[in-house]
Amino acid sequence: MAKKPQQNPADLAKAASRLAELRARFLFLIGALIVFRVGTFIPVPGVDPIALKDFFDQQGGNLLGLFNLFSGGALSRFGLFALGIMPYISSSIIVQMASHILPSLQQLRKEGEQGRRQIIKYTRWGTVLLAAFQSVAASSWLQSQQGLVVNPGPSFMITACITLVTGTMFLMWLGEQITERGIGNGISMIILAGIVAGMPGAVAGSAELVRNGEMSPATAIVMLIGGIAAIIFVVYMESAQRRITVNYARRQQGRKMFAAQSTHLPFKINMSGVIPPIFASSILLFPATIAQFFGQSADPGPVQRFLQTLGANLGPGQPVFVLLYAGLIMFFCFFYTALMYNSKDTADSLKKAGAFLPGIRPGAHTAEYIDKVLTRLTFWGALYITGVCLLPELVRMFNPSVPFNFGGTSLLILVVVTMDFMAQLRAHAMSQQYEGMMQKANLRNYGKGGQVR
């Protein structure tokens, strides 16, 4: 009877260490999100929480609902993280666009890790400036509302601004720590946590609308079926790929000859993920913030009337908002894809590796072909993202009673970030098991596959 091979104690120790590392990453992610949620409930000193809650219950269906959604409900409580992560996202947009325009930043992009750190430093300083501006605007607007601030005045302004800017910078740091020490993209996970936290309230609000007769049960059922269908559609589109065949010529390395091989370049139909709708939302929130905060006046002048008109037109469900939102999503789909993927670099890498696309000459012709494929994929991907994000907005134009939380942007973020999290979780698990698999298959020193003698 054959004896069962005994496992090496060293291998078991390494496997246990890798499992402990994955568990530590997951627990760090959970702990960081708990810290984020706790911070949303810590109010800024000097605010009347009861009066603020009543105010947001009356205003939650307009632009403030969008602010509150991305802050995880912190704005409705004017909590430590009331500004959310949007100042950091806006700063990232500005710096990334400037890095393709300003020669000094273009040079930094070419300097590798050192240049990347300097660009990150500029992004952080930009976050401080934007958070400071938004905190001043938010504090001024809040104390202009009757009864929301206990003791209005300079002391409240200074305290609120310091608190809000500190909260935003802490969120930025927390997102970076999640990316480095946890699982998934930290900024996306924070936004996801804020949206998920608002889902029970959205469901309860919809149930209350049905109970009060403000929404028919048939409408609620249609919304539920439409939401499930939208999730299935998003999962299908996010899994779709265009695979370009890549052939490796028969080549010699030293005294060894390697046979021809074939593989493929996978291109997703949505190369930019959830970045376009997030960027588009942050861009629209900036002028809308100014209009919302500075357009309130008992005796409005020409400037206040203009800001009031601007704020009204940039509210969810308004035609101007829908058109601008669609245009910005389309623009950022192309911009972010071009920013993250360079077809010329890919063509050069394939040429250096002795690879080629069937029927396409290496070098510039390969770059043109890849760029053509990416342009077509990005066009259809942009239409798909725009459709998902705007469908609820179009429904809201004809049926204002639809809850704001049931937005296409939030649904897209939920599905895409969850899929990305699961993919990274599997990648961590597979990378930690890879060495053990190599040992079991006796592949550690195997490097002669595909040789032709």
- List, for residues 70-116, the tens digit of each pLDDT value: 677 777 788 888 888 888 888 887 888 788 778 888 788 777 778 88
CA distance 348 to 356: 10
Three-class DSSP category at 251: strand
Mean pLDDT of the chain: 77
Distance CA(439)–CA(443), nearest Å, equals 6
Q: Does residue 452 sit within a domain?
A: no
Task: Name 106's Cβ contacts closer than 8 Å, sequence gap at least 6.
Answer: 99, 100
Mean pLDDT of 61-74: 64
Residue 405 is predicted with a pLDDT of: 52
Residue 110 lies in a domain: yes
Domain match, 155 and 123 both: yes
Per-residue pLDDT at 408 exceeds 60: yes
Q: Who has greater pLDDT, 390 or 449?
A: 390
pLDDT at 447: 44
Structurally, how many domains does the chain consist of? 2
The amino acid occupying position 250 is R
- Other beta carbons less than 10 A from residue 408's beta carbon: 22
Residue 321 counted as domain residue: yes
Helix (H) / strand (E) element for 262: namely strand 261-268
Domain ranges, residue 116 = 18-207
72 and 133 together in one domain: yes
Residues 260 and 199 in one domain: no
CATH number for position 183: 1.10.3370.10
Q: What local confidence, expressed as pLDDT, does residue 452 receive? A: 38
What number is the average pLDDT over the span 123-144?
86
% of residues, the chain, pLDDT over 70: 75
Sign of CA dihedral 348, 354, 356, 362: positive
Tell me the two tokens of residue 162: 């310091």
pLDDT digits (tens, 9 = 90+) for 316-375: 667 787 888 889 899 988 888 887 777 888 888 888 877 778 888 888 888 888 888 888
Q: What is the pLDDT of residue 451?
A: 41
Query: Do 280 and 182 share a structural domain?
Result: no
Q: Quick one: pLDDT at residue 34?
A: 92
User: Is 285 inside a domain boundary?
Assistant: yes
pLDDT of residue 453: 36
pLDDT at 31 (0 to 100) = 92
Looking at 165, 181, 207, which one is the last position of a domain? 207
Digit-coded pLDDT (tens) for 411-439: 888 888 888 888 887 877 776 555 555 45
Residue 65: enclosing H or E segment and its boundaries?
Answer: helix 63-70
User: Which of the listed residues 140, 173, 207 is the one where a domain comes to its end?
Assistant: 207
Same domain, 53 and 177: yes
Residues 75 and 178 in one domain: yes
C-alpha dist (Å) from residue 361 to 251, 290, 344 = 18, 53, 13
**DSSP code, position 119:** H
pLDDT at 140 over 50: yes
Same domain? For 334 and 316 the reply is: yes
Best CA proximity match to 261, nearest among 273, 281, 277, 245: 245
Residues 118 and 141 in one domain: yes
